[in-house]
Structure 1
Amino acid sequence: MSDTEDGSETEGRDYEVVVVGGGPAGVQTALYTTRLGHDTAVVDRGGGRAAMMLDTHNVIGVPEETSGNEFLQTAKEQVQSYGGDVVRDFVTEIERTDDGRFRLVGNDAEFLADRVVLAVGFNDERPDPPVPRTGKGLHYCLHCDAYMFIDRPVYVMGTGEAAAHVAMIMLNFTDDVDLLLRGEDPEWSDETDEQLRAHPIEIVDAEITGMQKSDDGWLEAFEFDDGTVRRYRGGFPMYGSNYNTDLPEQLGCDLNDDGTVAVDEGMETSVDGVYAVGDITPGHNQVPVAMGEGAKAGIDIHYGLRAFPRDLDEIREHGPVGADDVPNVSERIRGAAEAFEEARAPPLDVPDAEPADDD
């Protein structure tokens, strides 16, 4: 049996939407589907790239000093306040049922859903030690963190095309850029090599043997096997990404050549009713981008699940919509909405309308 983060049991629960993954993209999707009236659960194993952020950058309204964990915890509490569930579990299997729905199997519970959202992201390939702690000299997001390296010494670590190009890009922010090969041969093309060597970047062949850190844990310098010591504010390891495509592959979702999941404009995959959002899809791996994808998926899911307006063919076959048929919101969502509004302002005391006089 699995519990939600507020302690309620979820075994046997049936949802309209199950989101797998509790990062910014997944939680944003759940925020939309819950507020749009659909019973939703976020199934989150914990961790993830966003959770590792020591500070949150480039998100309007979120102070820089907000950690990734604080940011995500606030987001999950928002989903719960609107009537959604947040469940700590790890989904290992997923399949389409005979009636066209989806069955998800976690380590502790099973879930049924009309729509599934895969927000399972990827794992960065980490360089071999010695390397500093993530966020304190080891950074994975150029667009988030380049600002902090203005006029500071920075390294880029790697041997491929991406490493060479990121090193050149960093010259927009600082004139002190080293490209660390760590004893490996470069793998970039001859054209890239010619381009790279036309920029003021030092290519360091030597392997790292040690590092120096400040009292607060930030990287200060690397020590190399040629006896040199080079000082850095921090830098970027460029060794690629491993996309978490096990669940999409179980469902038969199409993948792109780079390993990401193929999606349409509404973030739906090649499998009807299955959506993918965030770092597992093509594009920039940014918190605001992921949130935008989650919003698009949530709205698209709502279009497919909402009961009204009822189709004309249905009306002609079954008759008009009756007063007892509306609103089409579960008791769970209705109760959460009432509690949410009562917490913000007391309900209006509106008297019943008086019958009109005959004369």
Structure 2
Amino acid sequence: MHTDDEFDFDVTVVGGGPAGLTSALYTTRLGLDTLVVNRGGGRAAMMRDTHNVIGVGEETSGNEFLQMAREQVESYGADYVRGFVEDAAPLGDDPADGFRVDTGDDEYTTRRLVLATGFSDERPEPPLPRTGMGLHYCLHCDAYMFVDESVYVMGTGDSAAYVAMIMLNFTDEVDILTRGEEPTWSDDTAEMVENHPVDVIHEDITGMSKDDDGWLESFEFEDGTVREYKGGFPMYGSNYQADLADALGLDREDSGEVAVDDHGRTSVEGVYAVGDLTPGHNQIPVAMGEGAKCGIAIHMDLRAFPRSTDDIAELGPVSASDVPAISPDLMATAVAHEGHAAGPRAAAEDVEGEAPADD
């Protein structure tokens, strides 16, 4: 069995999106040596603007948001590696033995593993507008943009029909574009569509026009008709980035997500999953909340103190030499950080406040 100092890290997070970075933020600030391995890209990185994240304005792009988050996590002492995790596996039969993480170039051992690998959206065939300029993947993020505008929804299944009907809450001009395919939605959904003011356009798209800024203006269809749209939503499903989850034997839901409890624990002890890889709303604030709960749960699982009565009976009382349990590197970073009670900010407040009395 490994001892704590035999591990390279307490926690390794695979994925550098909002969920993964928030997990790393919490584990690092709660005294656990943390590594983030991120291959780059992802759904959040595709955002032209940031919506629904309180305190973050529309002018912030996804890449800017993620860069600020990464810098914040690193400032607290987490390690960040740009790379692709090719394999992850237990080091032994006991979860306490930890895990091996292989990036191809390097190999790390870790006590706990967090998967935040997300999913990618299925894209329809072109012609298509640019993502974020008429092509959008999140109704809850972007419906506000299309209040009182003409909107399309692409797809043939129940999800496409439901999104189209939901958009009637925001605008009275909604079309479903089946792109030449027959609808596959249920009879119940078909009856609902027939009783809502939604047009179903069966002809495929043959061309499109954009305005001078690159935003979608209209689609041209096989029958020669042209319909104007400000934007819309393709609904063709999701590809979960779950190769590592499958290699580790994690249970998955019928719909493809990794099954987790309310704190991100998976069916394999010591492995957690957060964000778009798990069930729930695919929203940045939701992902951040999942990351926070996961980070706190890992802290509670791994923290050295309080030592239980059983452990006291086995190991003896906690001595002064046992504390604190934080690693020397994290301790040095914390003490020097501007957020520390004795850090630069506190020193600045001392300067601005009342001068100390003379001896």
TM-score (norm 1): 0.92
Distance 1:198 1:315 in 2: 68
Distance 2:39 2:104 in 1: 10
| Partner residue in 2 for 1:24 | 18
Q: Identify the match of residue 153 of structure 2 among 152, 156, 159.
A: 156
Q: Deviations over 1:277-315 (max 9, x none)?
A: 000100100000000000010000000110000011121
Q: Identify the match of residue 96 of structure 1 among 86, 90, 96.
A: 90
Question: Does residue 334 in structure 1 map to residue 328 in structure 2?
Answer: no
| Partner residue in 2 for 1:290 | 287
Matches within 5 A, 1:1-359: 14-98=8-92, 100-340=97-337, 341=340, 342-346=343-347
Distance 1:182 1:265 in 2: 39
How far residue 93 of structure 1 moved from its aligned partner, in angstroms, is: 0.4
Contact 2:118 2:275 in 1 (8 A): yes
Q: How many residues align?
A: 339
Runs of 4+ in structure 1 over 4 Å off: none
Distance 1:345 1:218 in 2: 48
Q: Give the secondary-structure state (helix, strand or coil) at the position aligned to 1:345.
A: helix
Q: Deviations over 1:129-166 (max 9, x none)?
A: 00011100000000000001100000000000000111
Give the residue type in structure 1 aligned to 2:238.
Answer: S
Distance 2:84 2:315 in 1: 42
Q: Give the secondary-structure state (helix, strand or coil) at the position aligned to 2:97.
A: coil
How far residue 318 of structure 1 moved from its aligned partner, in angstroms, is: 2.5
- Structure 2 residue runs of 5 or longer lacking an equivalent are 1-5
Give the residue type in structure 1 aligned to 2:346.
Answer: A
- Structure 1 residue runs of 5 or longer lacking an equivalent are 1-11, 352-359
Contact 2:265 2:271 in 1 (8 A): yes
Distance 1:324 1:13 in 2: 21
Distance 2:175 2:310 in 1: 66
Q: Deviations over 1:55-109 (max 9, x none)?
A: 0100111111100011111111111110001110100101000262100111321
Q: Give the secondary-structure state (helix, strand or coil) at the position aligned to 1:137.
A: coil
Distance 1:92 1:319 in 2: 42
Give the residue type in structure 2 aligned to 1:85.
Answer: D
Distance 1:138 1:159 in 2: 17
Give the residue type in structure 2 aligned to 1:195.
Answer: M
Contact 2:175 2:199 in 1 (8 A): yes
Percent identity over the alignment is: 65
How far residue 211 of structure 1 moved from its aligned partner, in angstroms, is: 0.8
Distance 1:154 1:318 in 2: 66
TM-score (norm 2): 0.92
Distance 1:280 1:333 in 2: 29
Give the residue type in structure 2 aligned to 1:64.
Answer: E
Distance 1:74 1:279 in 2: 20
Distance 1:271 1:75 in 2: 28
| Partner residue in 2 for 1:6 | none
How far residue 13 of structure 1 moved from its aligned partner, in angstroms, is: 7.7
Contact 2:7 2:110 in 1 (8 A): no
Give the residue type in structure 2 aligned to 1:116.
Answer: L
Q: Deviations over 1:22-64 (max 9, x none)?
A: 0000000000000000000110000000000000100111111
How far residue 252 of structure 1 moved from its aligned partner, in angstroms, is: 0.7
Give the residue type in structure 2 aligned to 1:199.
Answer: H
Q: Deviations over 1:3-26 (max 9, x none)?
A: xxxxxxxxx980000000000000
How far residue 214 of structure 1 moved from its aligned partner, in angstroms, is: 1.1
Q: Give the secondary-structure state (helix, strand or coil) at the position aligned to 1:94.
A: strand
